[in-house]
Amino acid sequence: MVNGDLHDFLAELERLGDLHRVAAEVDPVLEVAAITDRVSKLPNGGKGLLFERVKGSRFPLVTNVFGSAGRVAAALGAATLDDLTARMDGLLAAVPPAKTASPLEAMASLAEMRRFAPLIVEKASCQEVVEAPDLLRYPFPHSWPGDGGRFITLPLVVTRDPETNTPNCGMYRVRVVDGASAGIRWYAGKGGELHCRRHQERGERMPVAVAIGGDPAALLAAILPLPEGFDEMLFAGFLRGRPLELARCRTSDLLVPAGAELVLEGYVEPGETVMDGAFGNHTGFYAPAAPVPLMRLTCITRRTDCICPATVVGRPPMEDCYLAKAAERLLLPVLRMRWPEIVDINYPLEWIFNGGAVLSLRECSSSRVRQIVTELWSSGLAGPGRLLVAVDEGTRVDDPAEVAWRVMNAVDWRTDLIIAERDAPAAWPGLGSRLAIDATRSAARRYGAEELVPDRETARRVDSRWREYGF
């Protein structure tokens, strides 16, 4: 089932018995997060949570709705996350051989993608109610004791390049400052930050819209490392199998998902900032406070029956890990096209998904392993990639025991470690270095190690006599 908006998705989860309604009143300050944290660490991610009565707000709040592999797949109309890989494989098959070095850029211009171009509609459910800004009416959570206030944690932040008019939709953290203003945290080099910098260089006010809720495909498109200029709403249309409907904002020319639950409209003045954070991050540690652009709201539009979605991030596993697993399955065909030696990839949940990955490679030389790792780091397709482990194609990348066995028994620390330095984010001065481990069979053979392999003939004889042994 492809879901049209958050209401459709919640109805589907309820039908599947995968949504838990909390009728008791809960406090958005710490209590919602404490409940969500406990549920998200249950086997298979627990259930989605619908808090029907939130203290201080008349609007319901949902969390953990994407907190399992099954729910993320269902949100995108797939039976399993592996189906997303098949979808991408089918689309990328049309990429000309001359453009396989940049699959995502090539994908955006494919004729097949034209039918997924977003549609602009005049009437949108996200604009059923238009009201003066008052963020304090909404149940945005304060998740951890050291957080610098309440945060909007599932926002789709929409901006536009002042020179090319190209839109960008990214998931950037938003802090509620007061009823009519918010701080937006985008990082250097990201689409929103580039647009903000270009507006500032021109001395111009930048229109901003923050859409909350809507079709899950738009949310996933916003977290993928799509190249600059690739319209996330176009990719969302591909994910959902039909164009995404967009509506024009009431106080600017920006386009937002028509099926969103609510939309914050406003602007950023050049150079105007506010402190953001601290914030309990997906690393399990606080991201320190830092100045960020200040968004002044001009209005809020919403559905009449608005439900506020939020996510709680912290020490994994949590909801964001499963969204990252969907991104992993979507990016695998891109990686395979760019580097044909790649067989599979795994973002271990314990490694905070995009902080590291395990790659399986068809047998290649140590120099080629080093080249692939270095290019992956520079491409941004493996996220920050603080730790990359390369294993051979016979190794299951999702089996921690087998990966650990290979690392400890097939690696010469003197030759098989690849260390690189990079500019660390200002907020994380200690995270500049990156490490890769070549744990492929070719690495083991460099110091004379040969893996134990049973005799084939004996193995066949044992297979045929297995019952005879009394098992």
How does pLDDT run across 120-166, given as a tens digit for each residue? Answer: 999 999 999 999 999 999 999 999 999 999 999 999 999 999 999 99
pLDDT value of position 385: 81
Task: Say how many domains are in the chain.
Answer: 2
Peptide bond into 43 cis (omega under 30): no
Mean pLDDT across the chain, nearest whole number? 92
List, for residues 281-299, the tens digit of each pLDDT value. 998 999 999 999 999 999 9
What is the distance of C-alpha 141 from the center of its chain? 20
Question: What is the rounded (10 degree) CA torsion for 73, 212, 146, 318?
Answer: 0
Q: Is residue 298 part of a domain?
A: yes
Higher pLDDT, 274 or 228: 274
In three-state form (DSSP H/G/I as H, E/B as E, the rest C), the secondary structure along 337-368 is HHCCCEEEEECCHHHCHHHEEEEEECCCCHHH
> Residues for the chain: how many in total?
471
Q: Please check whether residues 364 and 216 belong to one and the same domain.
A: no
How far is the C-alpha of 351 from the C-alpha of 317, rounded, in Å? 10
- Rounded to whole angstroms, what are the CA distances from 439 to 23, 325, 409? 51, 23, 8
pLDDT value of position 442: 76
Q: How confident is the model at residue 410 (pLDDT cuts 50, 70, 90)?
A: confident
- Strands 129-131, 61-63: pairing kind: unpaired
pLDDT value of position 286: 94
Q: Please check whether residues 287 and 188 belong to one and the same domain.
A: yes
Tokens in use for 399? Answer: 């089996």
Q: What is the pTM of this model?
A: 0.91
Q: Is residue 323 part of a domain?
A: no
Q: How confident is the model at residue 397 (pLDDT cuts 50, 70, 90)?
A: very high
Q: How confident is the model at residue 1 (pLDDT cuts 50, 70, 90)?
A: very low
Cβ atoms < 10 Å from Cβ of 450: 8
Q: Please check whether residues 376 and 227 belong to one and the same domain.
A: no
How far is the C-alpha of 440 from the C-alpha of 359, rounded, in Å? 10
Instruction: List the domain range (segments joined by +) for residue 386.
Output: 339-445
Q: Which H or E run contains 83?
A: helix 82-92
Last residue of a domain, one of 309, 325, 351: 309
Residue 168 pLDDT > 90? yes
| Spatial contact of 148 and 289, defined as CB atoms under 8 Å apart | yes
Q: Please check whether residues 260 and 360 belong to one and the same domain.
A: no
Q: Is residue 131 part of a domain?
A: yes
pLDDT value of position 424: 52
Tokens in use for 433? Answer: 């270095």
Residue 382 pLDDT > 80? no
How far is the C-alpha of 372 from the C-alpha of 237, rounded, in Å? 31
| Span between the terminal Cα atoms of the chain, in Å | 44
Tokens in use for 28? Answer: 């958005």
Q: Please check whether residues 302 and 434 belong to one and the same domain.
A: no
Last residue of a domain, one of 290, 309, 328: 309
List, for residues 252-281, the tens digit of each pLDDT value. 999 999 999 999 999 999 999 999 989 999
Q: How confident is the model at residue 423 (pLDDT cuts 50, 70, 90)?
A: low
Using DSSP's 3-state secondary structure scheme, residue 107 falls into helix
Q: Which residue has the tokens 């998904």?
A: 353
Residue 425 pLDDT > 70? no
pLDDT value of position 427: 43
Q: Is residue 252 part of a domain?
A: yes
Q: Please check whether residues 71 and 127 belong to one and the same domain.
A: yes
User: Domain containing 131 — which CATH number?
Assistant: 2.30.110.10
